[in-house]
């Protein structure tokens, strides 16, 4: 099923939809960075004369360069640290698992010793009870 351009772009194709200045009926092609507004060239020369403004193309290039520098910084400075922390965390997980396994083995040994002693005590009590029962029957 083909998607019509009106469905994909509700305002028409991006090439057809150009924002126009309501005051001057010119295409909006400037950004006033002081007011954070998109304006036309005439607005830039009149109402925003003393403001810091740039063409959309220039502002987009500047922001793109800033984003690229930011991404480079992340790749060069932050990612190695993140990767190092992930490696440390992975190593710590393995160490913790080994410690837990060792602790479980120690506990199991203690449990086995205690159970063996309890079985011995149980046998002695059973023998004592049997002996006492036999003595009572004889008397």
Q: Per residue in 76-106, is it b (16+ CB within 10 Å) or e — as a string?
A: eeeeeeeeeeeeeeeeeeeeeeeeeeeeeee
pLDDT at 5: 43
- Domain 1-51: assigned CATH number: 3.30.160
Least confident of 17-21, 27-31, 87-91: 17-21
Q: Where are the domains of the chain?
A: 1-51, 69-139
Average pLDDT on 21-48 reads 89
Length of the chain, in residues: 139
- Do residues 56 and 34 touch, judged by C-beta distance below 8 A? no
pLDDT at 12: 57
Assigned token pair, 129: 């009870």
pLDDT at 139: 73
Q: What is the pLDDT of residues 47-76, one digit of tens each?
A: 888 999 899 899 999 999 999 999 999 999
Beta bridge partners of 20: 27
Q: What is the pLDDT of residues 85-139, one digit of tens each?
A: 999 999 999 999 999 999 999 999 999 999 999 999 999 999 999 999 998 888 7
């Amino acid at each position: 099923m083909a998607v019509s351009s009106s469905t994909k772009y509700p305002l028409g194709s991006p090439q057809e939809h150009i924002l126009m200045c309501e005051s001057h009926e010119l295409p909006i092609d400037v950004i006033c960075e002081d007011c954070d507004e998109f304006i036309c060239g005439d607005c830039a020369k009149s109402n925003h004369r003393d403001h810091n403004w740039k063409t959309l193309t220039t502002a987009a290039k500047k922001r793109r360069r800033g984003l690229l520098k930011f991404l480079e910084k992340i790749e060069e400075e932050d990612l190695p640290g993140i990767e190092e922390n992930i490696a440390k965390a992975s190593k710590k997980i393995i160490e913790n698992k080994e410690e837990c396994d060792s602790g479980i083995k120690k506990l199991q040994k203690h449990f086995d010793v205690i159970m063996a002693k309890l079985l011995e005590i149980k046998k002695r009590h059973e023998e004592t009870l049997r002996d006492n029962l036999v003595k009572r029957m004889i008397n």
